[in-house]
Structure 1
Amino acid sequence: MSITASPLTWPPGWRRTDPLKWEIGRFGIRRRSAGRSYASLEDISIAEATTRLLDELERMAVRRQDVILSTNLKLRRDGFPLSAQAAPRDPGAAVYWKDPYNGQPRSMAIDRYTKVEQNIAALAATIEAMRAIERHGGAVVLERAFTGFAALPAPIVAGMKRDWQVVLGLQALLLPTAADVREAYRRLASAYHPDRGGDPAKMAELNAARDEALKELEK
């Protein structure tokens, strides 16, 4: 998988959020204006959210050169999102980094909120919460948790049902259509069909994924 800072590279195995379920984020920055005795909460900017995320990763000893923040935003010269630009249609954000202790690739993605900066800030907040596990003596728990964020396709485990978007390779699409499902099915069936030397188990999984997808999309 080729990972790019822009456009958005969505990690394999991560389900996209239905746009109808997007929420307005509430991550902000507290600022005290001149002449006021209190600080007001203002919207966080793209630059501030990015800095917050990089700072959290840095606290885990992750070097900035080992981080890719992937969005649909235009980039600064340093490869991170540029502020003061039009909001993209897809506000999702994904972060990829190399584990500083074992060198394993990690990834995390969020598209719950309507603005990119809110999703970036949510990534930072999630990593901050996971770091708290380590501070309270849960280093092994933290390692097991981050193992779930390996930047690799999820393995096929016997008896475990995979999401149809993952089976059909459509997890990167924000709103896959029935036409997308049929096209992906035709492409994969040519490789998985037993009559062509494919794997019967994979073909059965592909058939089930197609049926489930069309049932969901055409209801």
Structure 2
Amino acid sequence: MTVTAYPLQWPTGRKRTESHRRSRARFESTFAVARDELIAEVRRLGGRNLVISTNIPLRQDGLPYASYRKIEDEGVAVYFTYEGQPMSFACDRWDRVEHNMQAIVKTIDALRGIARWGTGDMMKAAFTGFTALPAPNAHPTWRDVLAVSASESNLDVVRRHYRLAASVNHPDKGGSHEVMARLNAALAQAEKELR
């Protein structure tokens, strides 16, 4: 998927805040500070290939101008790769672009805190909600089905992911036969590919 920085490219499937429901945030930040903090926060996280998508025209280096006229849609969408997976964060709750950007900065900082405080497995779980959605006609890979990152190529790790998913989704534990069939097919595909 090619992401555009301008005009705003909102993530597919993410709900928008109606313009009359947007409110003033309490962030004390200029646009330039929020933009620079966002870039720094994504770098600290280990994100790569950052694209900040807004309705603000771009400078020659591809970043949005710090000074801009009032625009109708203040939403901000941020795209980057994290551990080989495409991620997207988006916010349009606030009535200023810099405040929406600052909200994303705070969110990423909180997720980094999860890793700093020793619960990194929770960070992976939290990030599943921010994974950029695939195209509607795309079929999920075995990695998608088993929630295995691109950096994990060990069959034992894949089987551990499978067992964890199966323990929650097995029909005897309230899951469905369809989900178990997808998990079984994903495991078979992973075993075939990694042997």
Q: CA deviation at 1:62?
A: 2.1
**Normalized per residue, which structure has more helix?**
2
Which runs of 5 or more residues in structure 2 are unaligned?
A: 138-195
Residues 110, 119 of structure 1: 8 Å contact kept: yes
Cα distance in 2 for residues equivalent to 1:10 and 1:67: 15
TM-score by length of 2: 0.66
Same amino acid, percent of matched pairs: 43
Deviations 1:171-210 (A, max 9, x none): xxxxxxxxxxxxxxxxxxxxxxxxxxxxxxxxxxxxxxxx
Residues 8-19 of structure 1 aligned to structure 2 (within 5 Å): 8-19=8-19
Gaps spanning 5+ residues in structure 1: where? 29-43, 157-219
> 2: distance between equivalents of 1:2 and 1:88?
24
The question of whether the paired residues in 2 share the 8 Å contact of 1:56 and 1:127 is answered with: yes
Q: How far off is 1:57 after superposition? A: 0.8
Which amino acid is 1:86 matched to? Answer: R
- 1:67 is matched with which residue: 44, 47, 50? 50
Query: Which residue does the alignment assign to 2:43?
Result: 58
1:134 is aligned with what amino acid? A
CA distance in 1, matches of 2:24, 2:44: 28
Give the aligned partner of residue 125 of structure 2: 144
- 2:111 aligned partner: 130
SS of residue matched to 1:148? helix
CA RMSD of aligned residues (A): 1.7
- In structure 2, C-alpha distance between the alignment counterparts of 1:87 and 1:133, rounded to whole Å: 36
How many corresponding residue pairs? 137
2:43 maps to a residue whose letter is: E
Match of 2:80 in 1: 97
Q: Shift in Å at residue 70 of structure 1?
A: 0.2
Cα deviations by residue, 1:161-180 (Å, 9 ceiling, x for unpaired)? xxxxxxxxxxxxxxxxxxxx
Q: CA deviation at 1:2?
A: 3.5
Q: Which has the higher contact order (CA 8 A, sep 6+)?
A: 1
Could you tell me how far 1:94 is from its partner in structure 2?
0.4
Indicate conservation of the 8 Å contact 1:72/1:88, yes or no.
yes
Q: Are 2:63 and 1:80 equivalent residues in the alignment? A: yes
CA separation in 2, counterparts of 1:106 and 1:87?
Answer: 28
